[in-house]
């Protein structure tokens, strides 16, 4: 007999108390890898052996069906269990406990016969309204047995668009037991997590939303840019030298294949690939090699978010953004399980998900399913890229001291972007080259002030730009004067042309690094700090000022 952990026994007791004292349907919330199956197995065993009732377990993916059958056998070996699943080529009927795939059974309630108790695994997948498969099946099952009760099991009791899955009008009506990620980590039942952000920042503002989630095709186009894939793969390799099993979530099939190709050709490592079209025998072979440790890197598209059990995973790489807190949680949750080979799990976030949703033990979902207003739940260390809870004054990874933000309280506004407007990250980049040019705003009148555009090269083909306004007046001119005097012994230029001539002639100090600030909701990044060398000596009168000046036109300028 399987020995339940204390919180698992509390969950079982809470279910029984709910069923005895209420007429509606309860939900149990236990984190991914926290052990929902032993709770489910205990309820099944008691239902059959103590109360002589029939139980049906509903799940939506093959792995969950197989896991439930295996763990039910371990927990209650004398319990008669059947499986009803087209994918597993089983049509077992007449068992005390039947584990069924919802896709196979949703129109077969009459074939199954009277059922007293339905347990829904991953209950957040029950649709909130309409004639979804779960509702179709349960409506028919109640015609056979009007006294049918339903128990939901989930790690994420909310949906993207409609918020909590428990409500008077829903299939599940109230949460009877809940325990959080942080509690189970502290108690030693879940693996500790560490998080780092990618150095590249895709422009998520250009993505559109449909049905509460980014449009899939746009996400893939954005994330499949060559420089983003190259950067992500390079950082995955760098951060996983000491890791053993790395699960990668891609934004689409083309994107995932691109990642695998770069991992193989540039880094000479094998990276398996699984998507919805992968043939079953190939998928099973890859997953077995990954679980056994023979395959270190495995990339997938939308197939290993739920029900995939590989305790050896010690790194999860999110190379896709999502607006769904549930999907974000399910992806990260693949690394929650304990395993002798690991002391923690590293989450590499290339999709801005941790800053968007907060740490997985502090997900805040209210009303329509989106994070509520208030302080950003997480922040990124500009020095080591660790993503940590917002309350830290010093980064626990590298010791970086964050500036006191109390003086910025007045930044909060009543706009719909309340939580986004204060999500600011700062990242320092080494500068390998600097280019200067005269900038003319496209469509501007001939007498409009021009600026000097400065392009800092911070990667193989990655640049950060800023504009210095020598021809403007007022505050913009004052800033330009301060910018110039920090870098040069020459008099401040009066025009953009003169500034570029002097810069190209060597009048400016070299820049070895810049710190770039990105604020969610703003289109342009800002350069907010510099590492500068010594100022060069004064130039000889006219020497070196005859080189051709390049003129750059740009449709938009960030001022």
pLDDT tens digits along 398-424: 666 766 544 333 333 222 222 223 456
Evaluate if residue 161 carries a pLDDT over 90. Answer: no
pLDDT score of 438 more than 50: yes
The pLDDT tens digits for 13-59 are 999 999 999 999 999 999 988 988 889 989 998 998 888 899 999 88
CATH fold match for the domains 6-185 and 191-422: yes
Structure tokens at 232: 């992500």
| CA gap 490, 496 in Å, rounded | 14
Report domain extents, the chain.
6-185, 191-422, 428-554
| Topology of the domain covering 191-422 | Rossmann fold (3.40.50)
Structural class in CATH, domain 6-185:
alpha beta
Nearest to 266 by CA among 302, 297, 287: 297
Q: What is the pTM of this model?
A: 0.63
Six-digit token pair at 460? 């193989």
Q: Please give the Cα distance from 516 to 525 (Å, whole number).
A: 6
For tokens 């270190």, the residue is: 296
DSSP string, 262-306: HHHHHH---EEEE-TTS-HHHHHHHHHHHHHTS--EEEESSSSSS
90 or 236, which is more confident?
236
Give the CA dihedral 321, 322, 325, 330, nearest 10 degrees: -80
Please, which pLDDT band fits residue 383 given cuts at 50, 70 and 90?
low
Q: Is the model's pLDDT at 520 over the cut of 60?
A: no
Q: In what order do the strands lie in the sheet with 463-468?
A: 463-468, 451-457, 433-441, 551-554
**pLDDT per residue as tens digits for the range 366-375:** 444 444 434 4
Maximum Cα interatomic distance, the chain, rounded to a whole number of Å: 101
């Amino acid at each position: 007999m399987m020995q339940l952990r204390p919180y698992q026994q509390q969950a079982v007791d809470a279910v029984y108390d709910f069923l005895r004292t209420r007429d509606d349907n309860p939900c149990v919330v236990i984190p991914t890898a926290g052990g929902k199956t032993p709770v489910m197995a205990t309820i099944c065993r008691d239902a059959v052996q103590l109360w002589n009732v029939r139980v049906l377990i509903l799940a939506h993916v093959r792995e969950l069906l197989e896991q439930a059958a295996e763990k039910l056998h371990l927990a209650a070996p004398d319990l008669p269990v059947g499986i009803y699943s087209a994918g597993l080529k089983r049509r077992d009927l007449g068992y005390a406990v039947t584990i069924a795939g919802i896709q196979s059974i949703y129109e077969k309630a009459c074939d199954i016969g009277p059922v007293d108790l339905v347990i829904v695994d991953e209950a957040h997948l029950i649709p909130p309204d309409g004639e979804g498969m779960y509702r179709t099946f349960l409506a028919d099952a109640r015609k056979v047995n009007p006294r049918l009760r339903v128990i939901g099991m989930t790690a994420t009791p909310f949906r993207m668009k409609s918020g909590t899955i428990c409500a008077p009008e829903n299939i599940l009506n109230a949460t009877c037991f809940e325990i959080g990620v942080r509690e189970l980590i502290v108690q030693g039942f879940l693996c500790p997590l560490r998080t780092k952000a990618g150095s590249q920042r895709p422009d998520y503002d250009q993505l559109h939303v449909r049905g509460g989630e980014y449009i899939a095709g746009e996400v893939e186009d954005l994330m499949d840019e060559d420089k983003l894939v190259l950067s992500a793969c390079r950082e995955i390799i760098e951060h996983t030298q000491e890791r053993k099993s790395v699960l990668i979530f891609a934004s689409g099939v083309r994107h995932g294949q691109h990642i695998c190709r770069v991992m193989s050709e540039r880094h000479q490592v094998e990276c398996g690939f699984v998507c919805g079209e992968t043939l079953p025998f190939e998928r099973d072979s890859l997953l077995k090699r990954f679980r056994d440790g023979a395959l270190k890197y495995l990339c997938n598209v939308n197939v290993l978010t739920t029900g995939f059990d590989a305790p050896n995973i010690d790194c999860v790489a999110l190379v896709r953004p999502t607006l769904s807190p549930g999907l974000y949680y399910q992806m990260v949750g693949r690394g929650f399980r304990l395993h002798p080979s690991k002391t923690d799990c590293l989450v590499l976030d290339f999709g801005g998900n941790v800053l968007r949703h907060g740490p997985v033990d502090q997900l805040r979902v209210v009303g329509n399913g989106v994070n509520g207003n208030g302080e950003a739940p997480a922040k990124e260390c500009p020095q080591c890229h660790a993503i940590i809870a917002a309350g830290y004054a010093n980064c626990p990874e590298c010791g970086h001291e964050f500036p006191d933000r109390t003086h910025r309280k007045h930044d909060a506004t009543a706009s719909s972007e309340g939580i986004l407007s204060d999500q600011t990250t700062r990242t320092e980049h080494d500068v390998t080259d600097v280019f200067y040019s005269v900038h003319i705003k496209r469509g501007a009148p001939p007498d409009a002030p021009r600026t000097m555009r400065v392009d800092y090269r911070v990667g193989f083909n990655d640049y950060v730009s800023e504009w210095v306004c020598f021809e403007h007046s007022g505050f913009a001119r004052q800033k330009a004067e301060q910018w110039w005097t920090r870098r040069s012994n020459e008099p401040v230029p009066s025009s953009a042309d003169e500034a570029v001539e002097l810069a190209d002639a060597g009048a400016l100090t070299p820049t070895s690094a810049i710190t770039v600030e990105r604020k969610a909701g703003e289109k342009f990044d800002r350069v907010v700090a510099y590492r500068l060398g010594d100022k060069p000596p004064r130039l000889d009168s006219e020497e070196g000022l005859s080189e051709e000046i390049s003129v750059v036109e740009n449709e938009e300028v960030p001022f």
